[in-house]
Structure 1
Amino acid sequence: MTRTPPHAATGAPDQPSHPASFWLIAVAFLITMVGTTLPTPLYALYQQHLGFGPTWVTLIFAIYAAGVISALLAVGSWSDQLGRRPMLLAGLAMGAISAVIFLCTDSIGGLLIARLISGFSAGIMTGTGTVAVIEAAPKRWQNSATLVATAANMLGLGLGPLLAGFTSQFLPWPVHLAFVVHLVLLLAATAAILAVGETVQRPAKPRLGFQRPSLPAAVRGPFVPAAIAGLAGFSVTGLFTSLVPAIMRQVMGHAGGLVIGAVILVLFAGSIVGQAWVRRIREAAQMTVGCTVLILGVACLGLSIASAQLWLLVLGGALSGIGQGLTFRAGMGAVANAAPVGQKAGVTSALFIVYYLSMSVPVIAVGVSIPVFGLHHSAEFFSAVVALIAVLAMLSMNIVRARASNA
């Protein structure tokens, strides 16, 4: 699709003239992503209260991933047609509905519905929020806009477990209070989005529909290595976030929600460090360095399980996060820059479909394996598998790069 000419468009972009607009969108994006990981430290409490096993936790995560991917496919490109603000507000509304269901439910069915809607929220916000932050950046922040967008995403994911871990361990109403706090934050985020201008020029006749898994020719070159690296980086993210609560409780004897949330935050903080570091590495080596650091991080994760050492788990999380951040930022920046003006949100959403598939498959596999093989064997096996994926990703990217240079 080509860019709609000005005479055929409506709702021309109100490019924010003040840096506050840029930061308001970024903070709203962060707040939405907080809600998507908020239940992570609470699953043990839900299991005690509702009496379900690890397989149900896996199903809860799987239905969240299904919600994310469904939203990315169904409405991932809608903000190119309707505008960024309406879709950002829709993502915030979905997050609020999910929080309300978490507050009211007392059944596994309710948890499944809440996580499905949370997935819809993440799917709507991920593509739209990333592009909206980049478009809203003032001139002096243009070079760092992609970093701010991806860092808002990762920091939000990391702060969710920390917030829920703190409220569940030290404050009353342990299973519910975090969602009350998040509802308040979502109200503030809604006010922020209502206060900023539109950043995209909308066509006079919007075309809404299911997003087909196709890419513009200009994007295919950077998309392939970005997707391959994301397969490794987000597999590590899914594996780490799904295993850490069980590892810390059953293997290392740390049951406090705050400590568990803090360790998970280390991964996402590492991701932000990796994203900031990527510009210091020459472009041709960014993905290779990222995958190498990922392999080291997963190796530490496996060793921490075998030795029951918390410091190795923290180191593994930090290294895995740095590696994931390197590959994530490099890939996202290349794809966003190559995407045609009228298709940026759709292309970004397509990349996130790959990322969320990569993150969800290891979690589902681990959840199915633990009841059969036990936590130790399953965690160590899948750590080795993810390390192998990183090696294969690194080799595949070198092949893709070699073919591109010879073409």
Structure 2
Amino acid sequence: MFVHSGTLIPHAQSTAPRAAAGSTPPARTGGIGHVPPVITRSAWVRPAAAVFVVGWGANMFASLLHAYADLSRVRADGLFGAYALGLIPALLIAARVSDRVGRRRALLAALLLSALGSAVLSLSHGAFATVLAGRILIGISAGAAFGPGTAWIRELSDTAQTRGAGVGARRAAVALTAGFAAGPLLSGAVVQWLPSPQTTSYLIHITLVALTLPLVLRAPEAGRRDTGPDTRRMTTTRRPVALLTSRAFLAAVLPTAPWVFGAATVAFTALPAMVSLGDFGAVGSGIIAATTLGTGIAVQPWAGRLARRSPAAPFRTGMTAAIVGMLLAALTAGTGSLVLLMTTAVVLGAAYGILLVSGLRLMESLAPPQHAATAIAVFYSLAYAGFAFPVLVQTLSTLWNPVPVLLAGSGLALATMATTFMAWPRDPRRR
């Protein structure tokens, strides 16, 4: 009890209301009266759904290329990879913006842009300039989603105290890859068997966006934006430039990241153009894409176990798969075998999955928390450079036979793997 103006007042009956019995008073982390959101173990599913839907819209074009019969193969592959023109700058900008305005706003904007891109494509009637504009819009939406979305999934996973190192990176990689796989698989079926595929496929995607928006609106943010003195001190002492000049980044991430999408797109974009799929070109391309990316999902837990053995193991294993996959790709191009095409898709899909989750995990471990989204954006920007691989293969194959072109690709993959031995020397005293 205490005395106020000569009156005896019980302490428990002060102006603040009594807390309910057995309850825990809310922590005040954001100012007077601020109650932080409750982060459940399944909260990460909401931003993951957004990443899945944006990935769906980005990659369904792999099967829809068969609906644009008037395009040359080089032009078609160029349109497929053109969305990287919007994606890479959007990745770098959106990451910084989401650190300031929050992950939710960034991901909502990305979803709306993704729907707008599909709307433009559905109204293009095959006009090259309009299709190009729609693809660039899709790229901007992907850049605005993948960096902030991956960071948000990781933050929610960490805040919910999910067991297992790197589980946030693996969840983000699975969400992205599942969207990449499902988009072309369903769109291939639409092109093969349904009328007006250039309209129907995009309407399906727009519908998915509309269903996902309420999920993101209700998703909690982890409250990682801190402006206290400790965070400012960390920001000063651990800037992103330290990450970008580290040995692990320069010798492991920088050379291997382009093989993430380079390996995958060679499998489901370049090779199907070299092997006859008969009357089932559209759905066959969707199956090849789903096989490639589905393998990428399946191997990601294995990549985590490899990382626990040593940080170098997943990178070297992933690049070994890329080397073998490019050799098989050359054999596939030379024989036109459907069995070899499926085998190559599995091997290159394994390279994709291992390198994707390993690169994300390494970048997250190297970056301080307040720069996580920027670090992820840098990684994705490097990875998306691999979308140039099928265009290079198609262009060079018009000058030379595709077999030596793909064999040269395996040699490039071998040289890339050699750089990982510079990142993690064998001598422990030099490590």
For the superposition of Structure 1 and Structure 2, which TM-score range results when normalised by the shorter chain?
Answer: 0.7 to 0.9
RMSD: 2.6
1:150 to 159, 167, 173: 173
Q: Match for residue 230 of structure 1?
A: 257
Tell me the amino acid that sits aligned with residue 286 of structure 2.
G
Contact 1:11/1:201 (8 A) holds in 2: no
Normalised TM-score (structure 2)? 0.82
Q: Match for residue 410 of structure 2?
A: 387
Shift of 1:254: 5.1
CA distance in 2, matches of 1:258, 1:12: 52
Q: Match for residue 15 of structure 2?
A: none
For 1:76, what is the secondary structure of its paired residue?
Answer: helix
Q: After the TM superposition, which residues 178-327 of structure 1 pair with which residues of structure 2 at under 5 Å, given as runs? A: 178-202=201-225, 215-218=240-243, 220-224=246-250, 225-248=252-275, 251-253=276-278, 255-281=280-306, 282-283=309-310, 284-327=312-355
Contact 2:260/2:355 (8 A) holds in 1: yes
- Determine if the alignment matches structure 1 residue 28 to structure 2 residue 50: yes
Shift of 1:257: 1.8
Change (3 A) 1:385 1:77: farther
Shift of 1:194: 0.4
Superposed CA deviations along residues 299-355 of structure 1, whole A, max 9, x for unmatched, are 222212211111111111111111221122122112112211211101110111111
CA distance in 2, matches of 1:382, 1:123: 30
Contact 2:181/2:290 (8 A) holds in 1: yes
Tell which deviates more after alignment, 282-291 or 217-226. 217-226
Q: Match for residue 173 of structure 1?
A: 196
Contact 2:248/2:423 (8 A) holds in 1: no
CA distance in 1, matches of 2:398, 2:323: 27
- Structure with greater Cα Rg: 2
Q: Match for residue 211 of structure 1?
A: none
Shift of 1:104: 0.9
CA distance in 2, matches of 1:162, 1:126: 21
Tell me the amino acid that sits aligned with residue 326 of structure 1.
I
Q: Match for residue 82 of structure 1?
A: 101
Tell me the amino acid that sits aligned with residue 80 of structure 1.
D
CA distance in 2, matches of 1:162, 1:344: 32
CA distance in 2, matches of 1:71, 1:94: 12
Shift of 1:367: 3.8
For 1:296, what is the secondary structure of its paired residue?
Answer: helix
Shift of 1:108: 0.9
Shift of 1:275: 1.3
Shift of 1:371: 4.4
For 2:345, what is the secondary structure of its paired residue?
Answer: helix
Tell me the amino acid that sits aligned with residue 96 of structure 1.
A
Shift of 1:203: 6.3
CA distance in 2, matches of 1:256, 1:10: 61
Q: Match for residue 406 of structure 1?
A: 430
Q: Match for residue 334 of structure 1?
A: 362
The count of residues paired between Structure 1 and Structure 2 equals 384
Contact 1:84/1:199 (8 A) holds in 2: no
Q: Match for residue 343 of structure 1?
A: 371
CA distance in 2, matches of 1:93, 1:332: 26
Change (3 A) 1:16 1:27: farther
Q: Match for residue 75 of structure 2?
A: 56
Shift of 1:172: 2.2
Q: Which runs of 5+ in 2 are unaligned?
A: 1-27, 228-238
Shift of 1:199: 2.4
Tell me the amino acid that sits aligned with residue 385 of structure 1.
A
Shift of 1:117: 0.4
Contact 1:57/1:367 (8 A) holds in 2: no
Identity %: 22
CA distance in 1, matches of 2:85, 2:428: 34
Shift of 1:140: 3.0
Greater RCO, 1 or 2 (C-alpha within 8 Å, sep 6+): 1
Shift of 1:102: 1.3
Tell me the amino acid that sits aligned with residue 335 of structure 1.
M
Contact 1:65/1:119 (8 A) holds in 2: yes
Q: Match for residue 148 of structure 2?
A: 128
CA distance in 2, matches of 1:257, 1:10: 58
For 2:299, what is the secondary structure of its paired residue?
Answer: helix
Normalised TM-score (structure 1)? 0.87
Tell me the amino acid that sits aligned with residue 406 of structure 1.
R
Superposed CA deviations along residues 167-214 of structure 1, whole A, max 9, x for unmatched, are 11122222221111111111111111001112244467xxxxxxxxx9
1:119 to 131, 139, 142: 139
- Determine if the alignment matches structure 1 residue 164 to structure 2 residue 187: yes
Q: Which runs of 5+ in 1 are unaligned?
A: 1-5, 205-213
Shift of 1:15: 5.2
Change (3 A) 1:54 1:218: closer
Shift of 1:228: 2.0
CA distance in 1, matches of 2:31, 2:411: 49
Tell me the amino acid that sits aligned with residue 191 of structure 2.
S
Tell me the amino acid that sits aligned with residue 139 of structure 1.
Q
Change (3 A) 1:12 1:86: farther
CA distance in 1, matches of 2:83, 2:366: 30
